[in-house]
Chains A and B, each alone.
Chain A
Amino acid sequence: MTTAPAQAGWRFRQPSVIPGFGLTLGFSLAYLTLIILIPLSGLLWRSAALGWPEFWAIATDRRTINALRISFGTAFVAAAVNVVFGTLVAWVLVRYRFPGRRIVDAMVDLPFALPTAVAGIALTTLYAPNGWIGKLLMPLGIKVAYTPLGIVIALIFIGLPFVVRTVQPIMEEIDKEVEEAAATLGANRFQIITRILFPGLAPAIVTGFALAFARGVGEYGSVIFIAGNLPYKSEIAPLLIVIRLEEYNYPAATAIAAIMLALSFIMLLVVNLAQSWSRKRYG
């Protein structure tokens, strides 16, 4: 007697004995379709009306390319900065007890809650050549407002809580004994941080980076105030889309949007693959 060969192909993962799998899965799919899938496919459909040569012309237009480069470039730099300082903030909040810790902790969430336009106006006022900080930077030859640097600062402000709030819970879970074990084995403080703590936090840091980055790419409200919006220099892709819309040039707007969508999707996919790889290794 031979046993039947195991069924090949995709199968539903065996749900638990608790009922509701069919219902919840159906609801989730319907919900995601309504909220995400249909609007996005509408976007693709509208830009497909454009025809390939025209699409290509818009995609390779200097202004489009610069806007995309500025959007993705500044979001990347801001997310990178946030990873460093956000991790530091999380570390201070998790590891130390000091008066006012709860206030600092609550403050981290402010960028979540604040209307982004308010943040943009506040930052512009501070960093404009005659603002408090801008005045100090001016003699050093550093211009913040109305340059890509200003965009980066706005995006740092917007993205900080994403890093802090993803890293913080993982950091809280770090077992003190693991650090003690490393110390008894002769590792100094620096080695413990770089070889033991940091690798454990890496997946959370990558997630925080991805969230801050994604938020930065899509950010509009705060950036348009501080960026100055000079075409080719400090004009972000979302703004370019709005400009095209105001010109009633819907195909061009959807084309740029479709490119942004594709790029964002690829980057998030890469981040997710990195995540699942590290999870498989470290369990």
Chain B
Amino acid sequence: MEVRVANVRKEFDRFPALHDVSLDIKSGELIALLGPSGSGKTTLLRLIAGLERPTRGNIFFGDEDASHKSIQDRNVGFVFQHYALFRHMTVADNIGFGLKVRHGPSRPPAQEIRRRASELLDLVQLSGLEKRYPAQLSGGQRQRVALARAMAIEPKVLLLDEPFGALDAQVRRELRRWLREIHDATGHTTVFVTHDQEEALELADRVVVMSQGRIEQVGTADDIYDTPNSPFVYGFIGESSSLPVKVENGEIWLADRPIGLAAPNEPSGDATLYFRPHDVELLDGCSGCIAGTVAASRRVAGTRRVELEIGGERQRVEIELPVDHPAAQKSRVAFRPGRWKLFPAA
């Protein structure tokens, strides 16, 4: 089922949590809402679920305006960060709950509900645990039950709010891969919220980067990482370094000298240069480069990350060096960014 969020605004006690957000989610897509806390990602998810009502704007499921439908009628599967399982029910009863509360002919017979519950348990790889209570399961198992419970009602969309947030790193990675497999097998339109960019980039077909109640960028992992369209996205996704520069006649200047990067289409004036610390070309001499003295150096896994002080204003930037690079304390390093982007100075 396609989901269309159209110009939605949400205020809590007059404090805006979402400003005029629009988003198209294609049928069968796996979408991540990514952002720091307070960016409005969970609010957006809850609006889609119907757990909150928009202050303005509409939410469409297919062609149908669902904005004013009740939660019960929206038929969405929602998975909470802390599972929200029913403690007094067995695993099988938890999964069957959504079918049991139906009325009239849409309610399957008890036999069918049981069959469906054990089918879903197979899907989430927890066969044989029908009779357990949630208290007897591990965190990862509980979250699988929560997902099975959400899928039992054959939802139009599956919504997950930081589904792996409460789990430890090992289980997280495992469940992430497994969620992808389930999504590919069942084809539900799925939206999940996360503040973990690795999770979002690895898992989602498209990532929605949010900040301060606005959508900053929507795109595939490649789009988001390689061509961030705002300083926020550049800074939030992956590592980044920035320097205040000046554009003059299609050339980028750092203080009083050019750094050998051409920007023919940029307007002249102050700007900020963004680049990735690992995506730099080290140079020997310096005519047309960025040069600085090493202020700090850290070993990070397979590389060495150094902080350079640049120019008279001692602007600090981070770049990565090979581990065997001779640059030690106070020595000079010259480099030029490989892939970079300019944003007008704030």
Contact = CB atoms under 8 A, between A and B. Distances in A.
Interface of A: 175, 177-178, 180-188, 191, 195-196, 199-200, 202, 281-283
B80 A177 contact: yes
B80 A187 contact: no
Interface string B94-105: 000110011000
B49 A184 contact: yes
B88 A200 contact: yes
A191 B74 CA distance: 17
A185 B101 contact: yes
Chain A interface SS verdict (over half) = helix
User: Which of A185, A186, A200 has the most C-beta atoms of chain B within 10 angstroms of its own C-beta?
Assistant: A185
A175 B82 contact: yes
A191 B76 contact: no
Given A181-B86, A196-B86, 13 more contacts: A175-B82, A177-B80, A178-B84, A180-B51, A180-B71, A181-B78, A181-B80, A184-B74, A184-B77, A186-B98, A187-B98, A191-B101, A282-B87
A5 B95 CA distance: 42
Interface in B70-93: 71-72, 74-78, 80, 82, 84-88
A273 B82 CA distance: 31
User: Which of A180, A181, A281, A282 has the most C-beta atoms of chain B within 10 angstroms of its own C-beta?
Assistant: A181
A185 B135 contact: no
Contacts of A199: 88
Given A177-B84, A196-B86, A188 B101 contact: yes
Contacts of A186: 72, 75, 98, 101-102, 153
A282 B135 contact: yes
B288 to A, nearest CB: 57
A282 B146 CA distance: 17
Interface string B110-139: 000000000000000000000001111000
Contacts, number: 74
B76 A283 contact: no
Interface in B195-240: none
B101 A187 contact: yes
A175 B84 CA distance: 8
B157 to A, nearest CB: 11
B153 A181 contact: no
A218 B149 CA distance: 48
Nearest to A202: B88
B133 A283 contact: yes
10 contacts: A178-B85, A181-B146, A181-B149, A184-B71, A184-B77, A184-B150, A186-B72, A186-B101, A188-B72, A200-B88
B86 A281 contact: no
Contacts of B84: 175, 177-178, 180-181
A200 B98 CA distance: 18
A199 B98 CA distance: 17
B133 A282 contact: yes
B51 A184 contact: yes
Contacts of A281: 88, 133
A200 B134 CA distance: 13
Given A184-B76, A186-B72, A283 B135 contact: yes
Contact of B72 (A175, A187, A283): A187
